[in-house]
Structures are given as structure tokens and as C-alpha cells.
Amino acid sequence: MTSVAHLKGEELMRVSTTESTSRYLSMALASRRLMNHLDIFSLTGEMDEPTTSALRNLLSIIDAGGQTGNSFAPVPGTSPFGRYEQTLVVNEVAQPFNLKDVRGKLGHIIDGTVPAGERPTAVRDVNEFLYDLENRALHEYSEMSSQREW
Amino acid sequence: MNGDERKRALLHDTAVCYRFVKATAAACKLGSGFPSYSSSTQTLLKSIKDLSSATLDYLLAFPSKSPEDPVEYRRRRQSLVTIRLAWQNIHLYVQPAVDADTLNVPTELIQMLTDRVRLIQGCGSMEFAAIHTDKLNYFQFPPGEFERTVLDLASIVSAKTEWPPDLGIIALPHSQAQHLFLNGLLAHEIGHSIFLRLNCLEQIKNLIPGALDNVFRPPQDVGLDAAERGRLPGILQDWAEEIFCDLLGVHLLGPSFVLASIEFFDMANRLGGDGHIDQTAAKSDFKFSRSHPSRLFRLSRQTALLEKLGWWDVIKASNSHNIQLMNESLSLRRNSFSFEEIIAPTGDRIVDAFYQCIEGIEVEVERVTEALRDDAGHAREIPEYVALKDCVDTYLSHAVVPSTLWVKDGFKTPSSIVLLNAAHMYYLTGIEDLIKSSDKPESDDIHLRAVWMERVENWTTKGLEDISMLKKEGA
């Protein structure tokens, strides 16, 4: 799979810099928002539809990671994780979390099948992943914001 | 760090962030008197101010909620960075919003565009705050970006902070506020807000992967590496949105929008001495880029839409080289265009895929703008334009503001859209007459010509103000 580092120089040259930079900020903010909502879910077991939908979107990106099927992916839409460069980051960050089965825990949280007693642990592990995602997005944003424009 | 050291560090870092946010939002002062702001800009500035208050409150409470658990602490601590960088992004927009007072934005044009947008179903209470940008470009401002940052930040710092749901943001180059006709390009920016608000992508998003699958069936897909393959849906999504915004601009403003695009990109340069498109001069304008469809492609679709709306029939006889360029663009076909940032034949296939989506995009624009057309599918203003165009010309040629026209045996106030388009056509073809009737009738002086052009824009702006005032009085 192509890495983000490999693409960065190319992206800076070819894509509208302001817009592609701000996508990393959106990614960081979205990750933080999800962490906050998951904290509430951990305590109450309740989750609103936008949060479920955002988590589902994230899960579909993880599931599609590295697959090279014959069909093209759906359009990224307005998802903060959906652009190609952002999907690479999601998948790079997700990789080390395979051992903790973050993908599985995320799926159970979305399905509502995580038992109440296991909620705090599941949320904690997913939030660790989201924390890393936020961290990485902040790094990319800071780095790209400080590039010279001319 | 032990507990005390960690606490001191957190207090310090939170205070640093607090000072940063406070200083960033300080520019949003809303007093009475000068400078004065339109109600939409006031809403924007007030929203930023409210968000800053919510952020400051959040930061005041931040250290007291610090967890003991190192993992939880680390996670919470990072939110300070996120908040700070979000405000760093908002910082980009604060001063440009403050600078856009009523003397420095084309108020009447924005009001006219807002009135048009409000005719669209689902946009009845929309308003637009104009801000300045230091970039001399109407096409690069990503309105969704600022909105998304603010919304996300608001939901992090306070559940109560809300972004005004009917507020769109548009940006114009800070030096161009007085250029009425050129600012017609703001209709494109408004298109981005509508695209988002009405969730238009939902209607066209499925066309894109299908079209790409069609043109890249194995073995044609061998030219694509994984990165290109991954990016293509996003590239076509961007092209689709840009074309949507262009076509919406045509529906909102008519020919004036297309003429503004021609002037902005100085596209008349692509017209050869023989009156046809010069293939060498126009070489770059046939090419799609990663962010936008090719300029001549955009012009040809805009002009084709004018034809469909009935505008083309009433302007095509005009003796202007810009109209000639529009006429030429109508004869451009698929094979005129290329996408060379991805090498042939792959780039060409991507343009093929986009062509497969075009009809769906146009249908979506038609659906959104239905209220702007008559039963025959024509722009509603065309009969009025035909009836009043000559009269507007006469008024302008006598240096009279054409807001109340004497037609046959009575006074008539033209609609804003008719005045704008009639005056824009006069701007293209009537300046010669004004010079001929001046005290230097034979002059080729550029300064003099520029002065007359500016006057035509000023009279038109005044006309739009009068019409708006008369409309308010009538209401």
C-alpha cells in the first residue's frame, strides 16, 4: 500500500494546499469529537445518530484499507476521513491496534452489541486509537501549515 | 513529572492557549457607527465571538478536570493542541471578516444574489456574509472548511454553541469590492454553500464510481497505480462540485456570470484574429487540472446552459468579442479536452468518466433551480430583458442611472437581474458610444476608457441600490 510520506510532496505540488491542509485539521477535530462522544457512551450507553454514522464511516475505511478490488471506492463526500490521503493515515494508524482488536470493538460499539460491563474497556481501546489518529492528524496539519507557499 | 509539576505545567499551558484564543477573537468588535456591517457579517462576527467565549469558559475549567490516570491525562492534554490549531485556522478568517464592512463589499450585488437564492426550495432564509481574501481568486475559497472547523470546535468546547444554520460565507479579493460585474463570480461561491446545504452530492455521488468502473474495466486499468486509483473518486467529486457551482451561477445571474468568468480569466486571449479559438493560445485552457475542469470546458457548459435557458438567443447578436468566444465554445466537443496531469490514455479515460456524469450533475442543478425558470424551462426574466434592454442602453448612454425607466407611456422599474445583464452587455459594447459623445470623441486613451467603464459600473450599482430601496418601500 502507498504510504502517506511517499505522497506528501506530490500532494503539496498538485492539490490546493489550503484545502488539503485543512482536511487534516478536520480529521483531528472529528477524532476528538468522537472521543468525547464515546466517553459519554461509556457512561450512559447512549449514542446519537451522527456519532454512529461517523464511526461507521471510519470502520468502512478501516475495512477497505489495503484492498485493491476491481471497483472504485465511493466518493469521499464530506467525511473528514474519506479523502485518499486521509484513508492512508487511518489505516497506518489502525495497523498497530490490530492486536487489541480495535476494529472488532468499534464494530460492537456501532452495533450496540457490547455488553454494559465491557463498555469502558472497549471505549478505552477505541479512544486510544482515536487519540493516535488525532495526534497524527495534528502533526500533518502543523507540518503542512508551516510549508512555504512560495 | 510528579502530580504537582504536572498540575503547574497544565495550568501554564492552558493559560497560554487561553491568551491565544482571547487575542484572536479580540478583533471581532461589534459597536455601533463606523465601520458598519451587513446583518449577515454581524451574525458571522457574533458567532466567532460566541465561540471564543465558549472556548475560554472551557479552558477556565480545563485544569480542574485533569485525570490522574496517565493515559487519560495524555488524551485530555492533547485536546489543548486541537483547540489551539482550530483557532489558528479560524484566525485566518477573523480579520478578513472584520475588514469586510459595508463600504468594502458589493452590498447590493450580494443582496440581489441572496434574493435569488431565497427563491430556491430549502434556501428561503439563507444569508451570506462576505469576507475578504488576500488571494486574487474567487475560486479557491473553501467555504465548508471554515464552517466545519467552527462546528467541530463548538461541539468540543460546549454543547450549547451553535453555528447559524442559514449563514453561508463567501470571499472576495479585498481590492475588488467596487468591480460590480467581476463580483458576479460570487455566485459560484454561493454555489458551494448551496451544494453543501442541500446535500447535492447525495444525488450525484453514485454516478462517479460507476462511471469510473465503466471506463476502467480491466485490462484498461493497467495504467493506474494504487494512489491514482484511490484519488480518482475525490477528483471527480471536486470537478462535479465545481461544475455544479458554475451552472448554479448561470441560473442565478444569467449571462453576467459567464462574462465575469471570461473577464476574470482573461479568456478573450484565447480568441485568434480570425475570430476562432486559437488552439495554441488556448492550449492550457483545454486541460483539466486535479481541482477543476478545464476553463474552456466550463465556458462551453455555461454557454450551453444559457442557450437552454433562452438567454443565448437574446445576447448572441451582440457585437462583442466575448460573445464571439462564447459562441466558439459551443462548438467544442469531448475530444477538445484532456487531463494531462495523469498521462494519456489514462487521463483521457478520466475525462470520459466525467462526461458520463455530466448529465446527472446538470439534472441536479435543474432540480435545485426549478423556481428560477418558467414553465418552458426558460429564465423568467427574458421577456423583461427583451422589453427593457434598449431603454437601459439609452439611459446609460446619456449617463442616467437606469433605475426607473420611461417605457412607452409609463415608468417601469427593471428587476435587478435584468438591469445587471443589460448594463453588463452595455459595458461590453457601449463604451465606444460614451467616448464618442465625450469631449475627446476620438481618444484611444486607456485611462479615459477605464473611467467610462467604471462609471457604467457605478451607475449600475446605484441603479441596483435604487431598485432594492423601491422594492423595500413597495413591500
Secondary structure of A50-112 as H, E, C letters: HHHHHHHHHHHHHHHCCCCCCCCCCCCCCCCCCCHHHHHHHHHHHHHHHHHCHHHHHHHHHHC
Residue keyed to cell 461544475: B243
Work out the pLDDT band at A150, boundaries 50, 70, 90.
very low
What Rg do the C-alpha atoms of chain B give, in angstroms?
26
**Interface list for chain A against chain B, based on CB atoms closer than 8 Å:** 1-2, 7, 14-16, 18-19, 22, 25-26, 28-30, 32-33, 35-36, 68, 70-78, 80, 82-84, 87-88, 124, 127-128, 131, 134-135, 138, 141-142, 145
Q: How far apart, in whole angstroms, are the C-alpha atoms of residue B70 and residue B89?
A: 29
Contact list in B for residue A131 (CB cut-off 8 A) is 74-75, 78
Q: Which of B79, B145, B218 sits opposite A19 (nearest CB)?
A: B145
d(CA B165, CA B377): 31
Q: Residue B142, preceding bond cis, omega within 30 degrees? A: no
How, if at all, do strands B127-133 and B167-173 pair? parallel
Q: Which of B86, B231, B234 sits opposite A29 (nearest CB)?
A: B86
Q: Which residues of chain B have pLDDT under 50?
A: none
Contact state of A78 with B79 under an 8 Å Cβ cutoff:
no
Distances (CA, A) of B410 to A16, A106, B406, B407, B473: 53, 72, 6, 6, 19
CB contact under 8 A, A131 and B196: no
Which of A26, A36, A17 shows the shortest CA–CA distance to B89? A26
Q: What is the C-alpha separation between B31 and A7, in angstroms, rounded? A: 48
Q: Given an 8 Å threshold on Cβ–Cβ distance, is A68 in contact with B149?
A: no
Cβ contact, residue pair A75, B205, below 8 Å: yes
pLDDT at B32: 66
Which residues from A are below 8 Å from B145, CB to CB?
Answer: 18-19, 22, 26
pLDDT for position B222:
63
Q: Exposure of B95 by Cβ count < 10 A (0-12 exposed, 13-18 middle, 19+ buried)?
A: middle
CB atoms A142 and B85 under 8 Å: yes
* A25: nearest CB among B85, B218, B227: B85
* Better-scored residue on pLDDT, B108 or A7: B108
For residue A145, what pLDDT is reported?
82
- Chain B CB contacts of A54 below 8 Å: none
Residue A68, pLDDT > 70, answer no
- The answer to whether B418 and B112 have CB atoms below 8 angstroms apart is no
- The Cα-based distances of B14 to B28, B63, B84 in angstroms read 22, 7, 10
Residues A105/A73, Cβ–Cβ less than 8 Å: no
Using the beta-carbon criterion (under 8 Å), do B213 and A70 form an inter-chain contact? Answer: yes
Q: Do A84 and B231 touch (CB under 8 A)?
A: yes
Q: Is the pLDDT of residue A51 over 50?
A: yes
CA angle B92, B97, B100 (to 5 degrees): 135
Which of B85, B142, B209 is facing A73, going by the closest CB pair?
B209
Task: Flag if A35 and B227 touch (Cβ within 8 Å).
Answer: no
The mean pLDDT of chain A is 84
- Residues of chain A in contact with residue B134, where contact means CB-CB under 8 angstroms, are none
Nearest CA in chain B to A35: B75
What is the per-residue pLDDT for B229? 86
Q: How many CA atoms lie within 13 A of B216 on its CB side?
A: 29
Residues of A in contact with B231 (CB under 8 A): 84
Q: Which of A147, A139, A146 is nearest to A24 (CA)?
A: A139
Interface touch B142/A22, C-beta < 8 Å: yes
Cell of A80: 473528514
- Residue A76: list chain B partners with CB under 8 A: 233-234, 237
Q: Do A78 and B144 make contact, defined as CB atoms within 8 angstroms? A: yes
A20 touches A145 (CB < 8 A): no
Backbone φ and ψ for A138, nearest 5 degrees, come out as -65, -40
**Nearest residue of B to residue A125, measured between CA atoms:** B71
Q: Which ipTM score applies to this complex?
A: 0.88
CB within 8 Å: B85 and A128: no
Closest Cβ–Cβ partner in B74, B89, B226 for A1: B226
Contact A142 B78 (CB under 8 A): no
- Across the interface, whether the CB atoms of A29 and B82 are under 8 A apart is answered yes
Among the partner-chain residues B85, B221, B230, the one whose CB lies closest to the CB of A84 is B230
| Nearest CB neighbour to A18, from listed B142, B144, B208 | B142
pLDDT of residue B18: 96
A131 with B233: Cβ contact below 8 A: no
CB B312 within 8 A of CB B257: no
Report the residue from B71, B142, B156 with minimal CB separation from A19. Answer: B142
Q: CA distances (Å), B210 to each of A75, B149, B220, B353, in order?
A: 11, 32, 15, 9
Q: Can you tell me the distance from the alpha carbon of B316 to that of B328, in angstroms, rounded to the nearest whole number?
A: 11
Q: Which of A30, A83, A141 sits opposite B234 (nearest CB)?
A: A83
Chain B hits for A86, Cβ within 8 Å:
none
**pLDDT for B44:** 87
Q: How many CB pairs under 8 A join A and B?
A: 118
Q: How far apart are CA B148 and CA B86, in angstroms?
A: 10
Record: contact B155-A74, CB cut-off 8 A: no
**Interchain proximity B148–A80, CB inside 8 Å:** yes
Write the residue in A16, A71, A142 that is nearest to B209 by C-beta. Answer: A71
The three cell numbers locating residue B325: 468566444
Q: Are A4 and A85 in contact (CB under 8 A)?
A: yes
Mutation target to probe the B interface, by most B beta carbons within 10 A, among A3, A75, A130 is A75
How confident is the model at residue A124, as a pLDDT?
94
Cβ <8 Å between B74 and A131: yes
